[in-house]
Structure 1
Amino acid sequence: MSATKTSAGMSTEELRDFYLQYVALANKREFDRMADFAHEEVIMNGTPVKMADMVAEFYRHVDAVPDLHWEIQDLVVEGDRVAARLIDTGTPVREWNGLAATGASVSFAETAFYQVEDGKFKVMSYLMDTDAVRRQLAG
């Protein structure tokens, strides 16, 4: 029996694996492979963003937090949508998101939502718990 394809052109299991591969890409710093995962332009938190700018943002994050690691806690796939709750960890070595590096390591929640179109991310939204980061860096 073949798996039912979603409007994303993938089965639920394929879409789940696609997202797992995307997070693995981030953790391995293979941002130059982003074309395998995202359209040339995506809607990021409601704003059109070019893939090159999205890649540059990833590099900005790992430049400031070289050991930044994304760990999936919850993953829900429904139709062409993916929702994830992650715990992100790392130690900022320079200013990051307007916060000074203090030598402290941080662990914070990130919630992310995606819509996949033609086998790639088209809409991406995320929210990071920057208050938790601020408290942890302040000591």
Structure 2
Amino acid sequence: MTRDQIIAAYTGYIACLNGQDWQNLHQYVSETASYNGTLIGLEGYRKMLIGDFQAIPDLTFNIGRLICDPPWIAAHLTFDCTPVGDLFDLPVNGKRVQFTENVFYEFADGKIQTVTSVIDKAAIAAQVCTGEG
């Protein structure tokens, strides 16, 4: 895939997530996708995302920055949301929090094959513990 094709596929993927269009996730994610070194496949990926939206009903993926070097794309995602219970083992319980995620995706055969994600959990902890947010 070219740089422009990967960027187009990635922005389509983000729109799919934000629309919770799980029926079409297969257009963007490989049947053999891995997440942070674990093979979870398309169904595991779908279940993970559905769980994210259950924990965070107002979840929206916002692209802050994109860097593309085929077959890789890196994104700095921003979140401003209100989880309903615990988030990453932190008692958020309906408090609005803001945090970021740095994530790298490898594309193969036109789909996301490998995902490596680092979420700024310290930012969430600081907001929950100090009342910021």
TM-score by length of 1: 0.87
User: Given the alignment of the two structures, is residue 37 of structure 1 paired with residue 19 of structure 2, yes or no?
Assistant: no
- State the 1:106 CA deviation: 0.9
The 5 A counterparts of 1:40-79 are: 40-79=31-70
Aligned to 2:122: 131
Deviations 1:46-93 (A, max 9, x none): 111121111111111110110011111110111211011111121011
Runs of 4+ in 1 over 4 A off after TM superposition: none
Distance (Å, rounded) in 1 between the aligned partners of 2:99 and 2:16: 20
How many pairs align? 130
User: Unpaired runs of 5+ in structure 2?
Assistant: none
Contact 1:70–1:89 (CA<8 Å) still a contact in 2? no
- State the 1:137 CA deviation: 2.3
Contact 2:85–2:94 (CA<8 Å) still a contact in 1? no
User: Unpaired runs of 5+ in structure 1?
Assistant: 1-9
User: Given the alignment of the two structures, is residue 95 of structure 1 paired with residue 86 of structure 2, yes or no?
Assistant: yes
Residues 91/52 of structure 1: CA separation in 2 closer, same or farther (3 Å cut)? same
Distance (Å, rounded) in 1 between the aligned partners of 2:41 and 2:5: 25
Contact 1:73–1:86 (CA<8 Å) still a contact in 2? yes
Indicate the RMSD between aligned Cα atoms, in angstroms.
1.2
Q: Work out which of the two has the higher radius of gyration on C-alpha atoms and give 1 or 2.
A: 1
